[in-house]
Chain A
């Protein structure tokens, strides 16, 4: 009996060795930063000051006190971020699904060609995407304004796509759709392939048209994937940074939360306040995702 216990113990030890490298990485680069983040948010942590006194919830209070810089940056950022989420997510979901339905309606030979075309922008990095779209929407020499002048629309009055509302939101959403829609499309294509063909056959015999079939067979069937795409798109839009930071010239209107947090950290050097803002942002992402999941996952 003691012999088996000891070999069992040894076996557990050799098994545990396999998890050690990852566990070290996880603790060092995920767990500690998360815990440390909470601690910093409770400190007055200015990068230029060697002393970082503990101030409790002061950083959080500052964010909710009218007139402070933290208050400005956080709520300007929150407003811009939520606007972007509201403007982009419906399109990311609906157009992603639309592209998938379109692909499925194509002759089989053309499917993979068009799938590649719509998916290629996904291979472009955030900064190249931003460089391209800043140029597309530029006032002087930008693709869209030049094209509109060419076909005779608004020749002497180019649209300030990147400066004024609502154009700037249109531009940011278009750039985002171009860059990321391929990903959602492929997830939807796969979900659509999982819908049993005989359900459609039966519906056809019953005389259901295309819209009926979409509404009462396809959508209910792909519902889990729909929820997945909705939530991942919302989280991605919530974390938007490259598009407004590098493309837009609209000032506070498009100054999203991540821009405000990074400005607080790297320009104002107030890491404590920035961490408190980051934690509030993180909490609000989690709350929004949970609400979305609860609402969309309700049994009818």
Chain B
């Protein structure tokens, strides 16, 4: 039995090293000179350590990489979209789970039904709509579309429905109106599920690639994820060292958020996985 455990630990360690290596390779290549990056000899760690790649990105020169603007854009868009999603989804879920509203079943069916329509169908019309309103290359096009998704509403409804009606009724008898019940009774008891939705939304907005790539063409308005794609297929296509430095830089923010929120994130996947 003991030898079995050792075998499993060994297997897990080998797989772990394989999982770490690609990121280590990115990190290491970002400190290599262009010559060494293309060298036909294997060096896991740089032979000739250089900061030139990062220097080019931060200071610029021939190639413009507005890295700080991109970081700002990604965080701004991520936070704004998350806040928007949380507010509208929570209010809607409260109405659908706990309040008496007309057409409740119809609306619920419509929202759930929309989950089954693949995203590609609304991609181009959505693009045309924003284009017709002259909102391409703005923060609106990067933020607003995420608020129409039904997944968050669905997730919150499931949680709100299990919230005891007695507590809501007690608060109503004490004179609280619907808004007060929502803000000071329901929301404080839903911190964990709301955080879950927030982390999910932030990560998916922050890392989204196709939508921001096609709706924003102004270099200054790019997000980090789209910016990396622009450089990977453009100025840095022949300069792997600089591309790796850019990739390393753009991974650090998500990695920090990920490490901080990991426990919550894992619990949230657990919750959604079981529900479905």
Residues of chain A at the chain B interface (Cβ within 8 Å): 11-12, 14-16, 18-19, 21-23, 25-34, 36-37, 40, 99, 102-103, 105-107, 110, 114-128, 130-136, 140-141, 143, 146-147, 149-150, 178, 183, 186-187, 190-191, 194, 225, 228, 235, 238-239, 241-242, 246, 258, 261-262, 265-266, 271, 274-275, 278-279, 281-282, 285-286
Asked if B54 is at the interface of the complex by the 8 Å CB criterion, the answer is: no
| Cβ A14 vs Cβ B38 within 8 A | no
A-B contacts, CB under 8 A, total: 261
Which of B57-65, B123-131, B161-169, B190-198 lies at the binding interface? B123-131
Kindly state the separation between the CA atoms of A118 and B114 in the bound complex, as whole angstroms.
32
The residues of A that contact B149 with a CB separation of less than 8 Å are 30
List 5 A-B pairs, Cβ < 8 Å. Answer: A34-B122, A126-B209, A141-B39, A143-B25, A282-B120
Secondary structure at the B interface, as helix, strand, loop or mixed, is: helix
User: Which of A32, A130, A131, A191 contacts B244, CB < 8 Å?
Assistant: A131
User: Which of A119, A130, A285 contacts B232, CB < 8 Å?
Assistant: A130
| Cβ B209 vs Cβ A242 within 8 A | yes
| Cβ B207 vs Cβ A125 within 8 A | yes
| Cβ B147 vs Cβ A29 within 8 A | yes
Question: Provided the pairs A32-B129, A135-B25 are in contact, do residues A246 and B8 lie with their beta carbons within 8 angstroms?
Answer: no
Residue of B nearest to A140 (CB): B38
Q: What 0/1 pattern do residues 21 to 55 of B give for CB contact below 8 A with A?
A: 11101100100000001111110000000000000
**Could you tell me the distance in whole angstroms from the C-beta of A234 to the nearest C-beta in chain B?**
12
User: Which of A130, A131, A225 contacts B273, CB < 8 Å?
Assistant: A225
Kindly state the separation between the CA atoms of A114 and B19 in the bound complex, as whole angstroms.
10
| Cβ B144 vs Cβ A135 within 8 A | no
Secondary structure at the A interface, as helix, strand, loop or mixed, is: helix
User: Which of B26, B118, B122 contacts A285, CB < 8 Å?
Assistant: B118
User: Which of B16, B114, B124, B228 contacts A265, CB < 8 Å?
Assistant: B124
Kindly state the separation between the CA atoms of A37 and B120 in the bound complex, as whole angstroms.
10
Kindly state the separation between the CA atoms of A156 and B194 in the bound complex, as whole angstroms.
56
Kindly state the separation between the CA atoms of A141 and B22 in the bound complex, as whole angstroms.
14
Kindly state the separation between the CA atoms of A258 and B257 in the bound complex, as whole angstroms.
30
| Cβ A132 vs Cβ B122 within 8 A | no
| Cβ B228 vs Cβ A125 within 8 A | yes
The residues of A that contact B111 with a CB separation of less than 8 Å are 26
| Cβ B122 vs Cβ A37 within 8 A | yes
The residues of A that contact B5 with a CB separation of less than 8 Å are 105-107
The residues of A that contact B228 with a CB separation of less than 8 Å are 125, 127-128, 131
| Cβ A120 vs Cβ B19 within 8 A | yes
**Could you tell me the distance in whole angstroms from the C-beta of B198 to the nearest C-beta in chain A?**
16
**Could you tell me the distance in whole angstroms from the C-beta of A81 to the nearest C-beta in chain B?**
11
| Cβ A19 vs Cβ B258 within 8 A | no
